[in-house]
Amino acid sequence: MSLTSQELGQLEEEGYLFFPDRFSAEEIRVLRTAAADVYAMEREEVWRESSGVPRTAFAAHTYHEAFRRLGRHPRLLEPVEQIIGGPLYMHQFKVNAKVPFDGEIWQWHQDFGVWHRDDEMPEPRAMNIALFLDDVTAANGPLLFLPGSHRLGVIEASHDTEETSYPLWTLGRETITKIAERGGCVAPTGPAGSMLMFSSLLVHASPPNISPLDRSIVYLSLCHVDNHIRRFQRPEWIAHRDFTPVEALDDECLLELAESLPAHAAE
């Protein structure tokens, strides 16, 4: 999957790209089943909200076969390799839940700001690519982006360890308001199987999910192997230390798992 010149221009200007329906219903069925599996696990990598519901499953590609394959899927790897100039290693892999009624916020932040401060990643030669496992709507806690904010570099942030179950370097209201006044605020939405690609410098957040609708998204944070982290203070399953280049599998790799699922699985 190669990006067109128009898509490259949009990514440079706005900091993100949206691709609807890039994964089939059958592939999403495999991944929804996998998400239910990992959310039910009692592992240190599976973080929970204060209510006890799942918030995020870190490094699921290391302990579930479906996510291992997704982490090497060419539809995710190839466009990032094109931008970063590969080879790439997996800096983070997350399956983020926003369960009905109890899914909490992710505060305003820049991912590279976190990786640079906490992990000593040298440069923003890294990118996020995300896959919707559920329909993402205005109602169920979509991602919020500030278009063009990636062109501002690393923005001053404060370390929030109180507001949610996950500590984060966050941006204040005044900063967010000024950035939004210049470029607006958008919420990319679309059906399950849609894909987002966005700069590690793009300012983003997500509101709580108080709807009755599920919202799970898988995130791959991919970094050029020469730009790997230098500090190892966070657990390895949050900031990975295997800098081996990720090698893509066949495009049909997820469908090979569909045959082993019952027909009603995670529908």
In a domain, 139, yes or no: yes
How many separate domains does the chain show?
1
Q: Please list the pLDDT of the chain residue by residue as tens digits (267 residues).
A: 789 999 999 999 999 999 999 999 999 999 999 999 999 999 999 999 988 999 999 999 999 999 999 999 999 999 999 999 989 999 999 999 999 999 999 999 999 999 999 999 999 999 999 999 999 999 999 999 999 999 999 999 998 777 666 778 999 999 999 999 999 999 999 999 999 999 999 999 999 999 999 999 999 999 999 999 999 999 999 999 999 999 999 999 999 998 777 655 555
Q: What is the C-alpha to C-alpha distance for residues 74 and 249, in angstroms, rounded to an integer? A: 7
CATH code of the domain covering residue 183? 2.60.120.620
Q: What's the whole-model pTM score?
A: 0.94
C-alpha dihedral (183, 187, 192, 195), degrees to nearest 10: 20
DSSP string, 215-229: EEEEEEEEEEGGG--
104 inside domain: yes
- Answer for the pair 121, 115: CB distance below 8 angstroms, yes or no: yes
| CA atoms of 198 and 215, how far apart (whole Å) | 19
Q: Distance between CA atoms of 44 and 136, rounded to whole angstroms?
A: 27
Does residue 37 lie within any of the structural domains? yes
- Residue 264 within a domain: no
Any domain includes 231? yes
Residue 131 — left, alpha, or beta (φ > 0 → left; ψ -120 to 50 → alpha)? beta
Assess if residue 263 is contained within a domain. no
pLDDT at position 50 is 86
Indicate the SS3 state at residue 57: strand
Tell me the residue length of the chain. Answer: 267
- What pLDDT was estimated at residue 267? 57
In a domain, 18, yes or no: no
Instruction: Give 145-176 as a DSSP string.
Output: E-TTGGGG-SPP-EEE-SSSSS-EEE--HHHH
Residue type, 181: E
Alpha-carbon gap, residue 88 to 80, rounded angstroms: 8
Find the domain containing 162 and state its range: 25-258
- Output the six-digit token pair for 39: 């959310």
In a domain, 76, yes or no: yes
| Residue 228, pLDDT score | 98
